[in-house]
Amino acid sequence: MGEIWSFVEAGPEGIEDVSLEIIGKAAELGAQSNMGTAAVLTGWGVEEIVKEVSRYPVDKVYYIEHGELAVYDPAKHAKALHQLVEKEKPEIVLFGATYNGVDIAARLAIRTGAGLIAHVTYLGIDPTDGMLVGHVPGFGGSIVAVCKCRPGVLQIATVRPGVFEKPNPTGREAEIQRFSPELHPTDGWKVVERSVAKVVDITRAEKVIVAGMGTGGDLSLAKKLAEKLGAQLAVTRPLADLGLAPRDVQVGSTGVSLRSKIALILGVSGASHFVSGIRDVKTVISINIDRNAPIFQFSDYCVEADLFKLVPRIIEELEKEGG
């Protein structure tokens, strides 16, 4: 029986949400295709993380441990993962489409000659041939490409954060198998200096304010409103392209998908590549001066108004109520 692997990333705040999301999806695919599932971690001294992962819906956990893996080096992590892949021969390996995930996935694909479906928003198993199927938005989200790898090779996919739901722990602990790769200090980078930057993960936020080009690039009102509401600030791609906000908070087919309880959309037209990123938001409220704006078709509440007049009034009312 073949296996579906989920590559697990962990940071200072614990396991990345997208890693849990792909574990949950792998469990579904495994049940559909009668394949086993496994989580895979590379690192050193992360036994507690390994144990935590074992409580999620996987048949086993592979822990690739080596002192050279204590600090992230894509060359070393990819080499270590490749050695385990050659030993265990999985059918499918899933990665989160994070900076590190896509880095290692691409390196593993080159090493193994695998097929790689990048930044998918859907995964399934084709019942006719048992092959992995991935949907990838293209041309700004105006089309969706249905992709499959050629038969006879390892199948790899990177999954956008926020696309699938996180599973709950199972109440049991899966089998943990340790693997010691052959690594050498000269295999990868020489670390001269290391700094860690804090990145906002808006896929975890319950409340999000999304600013679009209708703001004219002035994010001051959106930031103030987000502060008053205790919400995270996000933007559309054009604002990120202008350098007004980091890519980490870009919503849409080329950014992240939201699963928040509420999203307040300010001055966003509603192009298809954007709305794909808010389809899983429970309540969408949009403010736009154009009553024919496409975003209103994807909103639960629509406010036809000039955001530069309305948002200051909202902030004023919030301040009266003590925030």
Within a 13 Å sphere around the CA of 69, how many CA atoms are in the beta-carbon half?
24
Beta bridge partners of 250: 235
Q: Is 162 left (phi over 0), alpha (psi -120 to 50) or beta?
A: left
Question: Are 137 and 274 in the same domain?
Answer: no
177's tokens: 């198998």
Q: 223 with 162, same domain?
A: no
Please check whether residue 156 lies inside any domain of the structure.
yes
Among 58, 60, 61, CA closest to 49: 61
Q: Is residue 31 part of a domain?
A: yes
Separation CA 81–CA 90 (nearest Å): 11
User: 209-259: per-residue pLDDT in tens?
Assistant: 999 999 999 999 999 999 999 999 999 999 999 999 998 899 987 788 898
The 10s digit of each residue's pLDDT in 21-48 is: 999 999 999 999 999 999 999 999 999 9
Q: Are both 174 and 242 inside the same structural domain?
A: no
DSSP for residue 323: -
Last residue in a domain, options 153, 187, 221: 187
Shared domain check, 286 and 248: yes
The answer to whether residue 271 scores a pLDDT higher than 60 is yes
The 10 Å Cβ neighbour count of residue 186 is 6
Same domain, 142 and 12: yes
- Pairing status of strand 122-125 against strand 132-138: antiparallel
Give residue 142's pLDDT band: very low, low, confident or very high (50, 70, 90).
low
- Kindly state whether residues 222 and 74 are assigned to the same domain: no
Residues of the domain holding 93: 3-187
Q: Model confidence over 183-209: pLDDT tens digits?
A: 988 777 777 777 766 777 888 899 999
**Same domain for 125 and 237:** no
The pLDDT tens digits for 101-113 are 999 999 999 999 9
Mark residue 285 as left, alpha or beta (left: phi above 0; alpha: psi -120 to 50; beta: remaining).
beta
Whether residue 207 is found in the same domain as residue 309: yes
Q: State whether 244 and 147 are in the same domain.
A: no
From residue 200, give the alpha-carbon distance in Å to each of 41, 84, 246, 248: 23, 32, 10, 7
182 and 56 both lie in a single domain: yes
In this structure, the answer to whether residues 177 and 234 fall within a common structural domain is no
Asked if residue 194 is part of any domain, the answer here is no
Q: Are residues 214 and 172 in the same domain?
A: no
Query: Residue 170 and residue 86: Cα distance in Å, rounded?
Result: 29
pLDDT number for residue 304: 96
Considering the domain boundaries, does residue 18 fall inside one?
yes
Neighbours of 305 (CB within 10 A): 14
**What percent of the chain clears pLDDT 70, i.e. is strictly above it?**
96
Tell me the three state secondary structure of residue 240.
helix
